[in-house]
Copies of this chain bind each other. A is one copy, B any other.
């Protein structure tokens, strides 16, 4: 159906269009790439490619631009992942190695990705599910309110205030703390719910409501809210490469946590480098955008995802290379710390 030359033509069109932003015609194609045929031949090929929906003409007498379908074919079959240069890899390493804490790692990752790809970067905070509990601290703040602090073996600290349904004296708090630590210390957070189910029974009846409150915060709020935390950066890059009119919409979308969640959620196998092109993105207002995403984590486990968002006309091989490399390095950093 599509012989080698037609595929080569498609690739050439995409490469030229990505680098020039302008519809590409048969003549210039022949010049720039050394296809050993005449423009007329290319025109015939183009006609076929257009008929099959891989490219399109903005206007009757203009060159061709790739369609979403064309990019899809390109990504799936015509291009690989472009490895980063040594200099880039070293830059990533040193930049990420200097991070102080988790917040800092995430912040730096966002910047790094944005800078590397000159596009918008999106990074989700790593899940706590697979961490283990190292220590739980309960600190009374004012009457009826406790501060719950969870320290994990990966050196992460999460805190939340708990509104208590009933007053509870310091001794009871100490008891609750002791029981919590005894039960949970060393356990994976993902198994915490099961382990802790019978815990209220081991607490004095009067304090049970408070214990339940603490537990619910610990289980739901703490672990889950964390995964919802997603940051982005590189918005300035949007302004440069003009998202024609959509800029406003894109920025708005990016500022909605929910949208970011969906954006990362939609991607398929998290262990894999995933590319969603144009309308494949179900998020409203991002139909002109492509998203290259990957999971990252310490070791094998995927703890969260990160992505780069740009116009459908983006340098896919390069972006994919950057995303993959950054995901790996972040994983390393997390595994070490």
Interface positions of A (Cβ within 8 A of B): 100-101, 111, 134-135, 137, 139, 141, 145, 147, 149, 151, 153-155, 157, 159-161, 221, 225, 233-236, 238-240, 247-248, 251-252, 254-255, 337
Cβ contact within 8 Å between B151 and A155: no
B residues in contact with A145, CB < 8 Å: 155, 337
Known contacts A135-B139, A137-B137, A157-B157; is-contact A236 B221 (Cβ 8 Å) = no
Cβ contact within 8 Å between B337 and A161: yes
Residue of B nearest to A158 (CB): B157
Cβ contact within 8 Å between B235 and A251: yes
Cβ contact within 8 Å between B159 and A225: no
Cβ contact within 8 Å between A157 and B155: no
Kindly identify which residue among B151, B221, B238, B240 contacts A100, using a CB–CB cutoff of 8 Å. B221
* Interchain Cβ contacts under 8 Å between A and B, 15 examples: A100-B160, A100-B161, A101-B161, A137-B149, A139-B151, A139-B155, A141-B154, A149-B151, A151-B159, A161-B337, A234-B255, A235-B235, A236-B254, A236-B255, A239-B251
Cβ contact within 8 Å between A159 and B101: yes
Report how far A116 CA is from B247 CA in the complex, Å.
Answer: 21
Cβ contact within 8 Å between B247 and A101: no
B residues in contact with A161, CB < 8 Å: 100-101, 155, 337
Report how far A252 CA is from B114 CA in the complex, Å.
Answer: 12
B residues in contact with A233, CB < 8 Å: 255
Report how far A151 CA is from B150 CA in the complex, Å.
Answer: 12
Residue of B nearest to A141 (CB): B155
Kindly identify which residue among B134, B139, B255 contacts A134, using a CB–CB cutoff of 8 Å. B139
B residues in contact with A236, CB < 8 Å: 248, 251-252, 254-255
B residues in contact with A159, CB < 8 Å: 101, 151, 155, 157
Report how far A100 CA is from B229 CA in the complex, Å.
Answer: 13
Report how far A145 CA is from B239 CA in the complex, Å.
Answer: 42
Nearest CB of chain B from residue A158's CB, rounded to whole Å: 8
Nearest CB of chain B from residue A217's CB, rounded to whole Å: 9
Nearest CB of chain B from residue A324's CB, rounded to whole Å: 24
Nearest CB of chain B from residue A100's CB, rounded to whole Å: 6
Name the residue in A137, A147, A240, A248 with the highest tally of chain B Cβ atoms < 10 Å from its Cβ: A147
Kindly identify which residue among B147, B221, B238, B252 contacts A155, using a CB–CB cutoff of 8 Å. B147
Known contacts A235-B251, A247-B239, A255-B233; is-contact A157 B147 (Cβ 8 Å) = yes
B residues in contact with A248, CB < 8 Å: 236, 239-240
B residues in contact with A239, CB < 8 Å: 247-248, 251
Nearest CB of chain B from residue A150's CB, rounded to whole Å: 10
Residue of B nearest to A253 (CB): B236
Residue of B nearest to A252 (CB): B236
B residues in contact with A147, CB < 8 Å: 151, 155, 157
